[in-house]
Structure 1
Amino acid sequence: RYFTQQYVRLWEDYDYFRLQHDYDTVQRYGNEAVNKAYLDWWNSPPAPDKVFKDAEYTAEITFITNFISASSNPDNPDLLSTLRFRKDIRDVRSGNVQPEYWTVRMTWRFEPQQAMTDAQR
């Protein structure tokens, strides 16, 4: 549960002063196809830095539920996570908060043999 929540938090939280860290960390978690989609998103009109106008807004998520289930295929090592969360978008100047509610469904697998440096961890 921890890693699925961390991964979604890295994608969905927004703090202009933490962007580079989150951007780099998301790419350590994903495979090539997922990372390409993530990079494409950041290079598109609805990229978070464009939507939130750099440092004019922040976004913070709070998890409501996180269900994890195994594949119905015993030969498939992937797991399915369904996470519901509230995303509070805050206008930094006024302090006004606009809540949104989202559901994320994602498949994932844990690969403990993947080599990482201490700095990447």
Structure 2
Amino acid sequence: MAVPLEIRQVPRPKNTIVKLTGKSWAVIQRIGCEYKNGKNYPKNGPVIGHIINGEYVPKKEISIELRPKNYGDYMLAKNLSNDILKDLTHVYGVEAFRIFAIAIMKTLNPDANDSLIEK
């Protein structure tokens, strides 16, 4: 389905495209192009906002407030499971630190989604 003219004419950041996702218009960043089989194909990045009621609304950044109380939980978990980290390092090498960090994050904060962990 083609994007209506009134949606395309809404002012938004450069190098973006508009795509219908569900019931709303997502503004997607264009991050470059990929060369395949002798042709350039556009490469899309993340959703950076939406068009709502004829206006561009930027996506809100997730900000996490780091308090000493939260940090203490992570240090306690790390100190209590150092032996597990050593075992992981023997098996997985450098990748063990990433596995260990994700395991601790998911244990202490079960509501953390994958996109939050990737940051």
Q: Tell which has more relative contact order, 1 or 2 (C-alpha 8 A, sep 6+).
A: 1
The bucket for the TM-score relative to the shorter chain is: under 0.3
Under a length normalisation based on structure 1, what TM-score does the superposition of the two structures give? 0.23
Higher percent of residues as helix? 2
Normalising by structure 2, we get a TM-score of: 0.23
**Larger Rg belongs to:** 2
